[in-house]
Amino acid sequence: MTGITQSRQVAAAPDKVRGLPGHATVGTNDLDAASVFYDKLLAVFGIGRVLVQPNRAIYYGHRTLEFGIIKPFDGRPATVGNGGMIAFEAPSRSKVDEAHATALAAGGSDEGPPGPRGENGTGPYCAYFRDPEGNKFLIFRSGAGAA
């Protein structure tokens, strides 16, 4: 052992949602259009804006910065990372369904419909989509199928 207790190595209990990553961002070339998309999508989780930097960035979270949309600081166009993906944990399977539907209705594109994944469908319940600028996202619910 490296001084980390066994209990600290175990993943969070399936019934405890961790929430969004602790400050991930995606680039945008149109902050106004991106904000319309993310205002709708993140409202599914009860998450709103916590910081707006006019013409530069908008950050979302429960009480602090957790996710942001930004214009690249270097002034060059934002591009989509190949192989990059951000995962949002949902409190229930119905929230996975709702978030996926909201993303598509707000201009996103489908990358995999909601449903169980893994061998024999025993893995997490997941849905994949891309935002209007091509950034890839996963919405998931692990553990017993809370509706």
pLDDT given at position 131: 97
pLDDT given at position 146: 59
Residues whose CB falls within 8 Å of the CB of residue 71, separated by 6 or more in sequence, listed in order:
27, 28, 29, 31, 55, 56, 57, 78
Token output for 106: 């707000």
The two beta strands, 57-61 and 48-53, are antiparallel
pTM, two decimals, is 0.76
Residues of the chain with pLDDT under 70: 1-22, 144-147
pLDDT given at position 46: 94
